[in-house]
Every structure is written in structure tokens, then in C-alpha cells.
Amino acid sequence: MVNGDWEQALETVQKVLVKDRQNVEGLRIYAFYLLTRENDLDYVQEKLDELISAMKYSEPNNAELFYNMSRLFSRYCGRREPIIKKTLQMLDEA
């Protein structure tokens, strides 16, 4: 991903998510890819919902994780209101 090889990053993420549907890091990378490279806001929102659920399941008391995820997506959302609402939802869950 750092080298700009999104195809390889997505392949790896898909392998991880097949084994573990609640993998926070895999969902974060996939949602970030969708937000920055695709234009389907409904699908981005769906993946952010999955990410929030995974964080609540695996790290329910980790407020810093919720804050950092919220900050990441709010910075890159381009002022798209549905995504901003999801980032606020992340903060509410913390």
C-alpha cells in the first residue's frame, strides 16, 4: 500500500478477511481503499459499519483506537457528510 501497489494490498486484505471477518486492520485498509479510490459511498458506509462492529467486538475499551480510526476517515472523506457521520458514530462508541 505504501508503494502504491493497491492490487497486492487488496489481495492480502481479502485473504485476511476470508480467515477473520472481524479483523480490524483488514477492514480499515479496505474501507480506506474504498474511500480514497472508489466512488461508492454506500459501500464505504457499509464497510465502516463492519469496522465499527469489529472494533466493538475486539477492542471495546480501546478509546484511542476509536479516536484514531475516526480521525483517519474524517481527514480523507472530502467533507462527505455520510462519512463524517460515521466517524462521529465511531467517537460515540468509544
Burial of residue 92 (number of CB atoms within 10 Å: 0-12, 13-18, 19+): exposed
* Sequence spans of domains, the chain: 6-93
Indicate the class that CATH gives domain 6-93: mainly alpha
* The pLDDT of residue 2: 65
Distance (Å, rounded) from C-alpha 32 to C-alpha 9? Answer: 11
pLDDT in tens, the chain (94 residues): 667 788 999 999 999 999 999 999 999 999 999 999 998 999 999 999 999 999 999 999 999 999 999 999 999 999 999 999 999 999 998 7
pTM over 0.85: yes
